[in-house]
Amino acid sequence: MTTLRHWWKHTAGWVADLADDDAGDVPGWVLVTLMTAGLVVVIWAVAGPALSELFQQAIERVSGL
């Protein structure tokens, strides 16, 4: 019985430590996601017209217009 009790305390402590470690990580992932989305918007705004023109030129070359 002592071994089972020791195992249960050890497992419960490990699960509690695991839950504590992940709890502080969520705001970091949210920040990384928002920053990535912001970078995509900025890059798209700057490079969008140039990429659109490049695509248009490629289509014109392929279609022969």
Q: What is the pTM of this model?
A: 0.47
How far is Cα 32 from Cα 22, in angstroms, rounded to an integer? 16
Instruction: Calculate the alpha carbon distances from 60 to 18, 43, 48 in Å.
Output: 57, 25, 18
pLDDT in tens, 16-35: 665 555 555 667 788 899 99
pLDDT of residue 64: 80
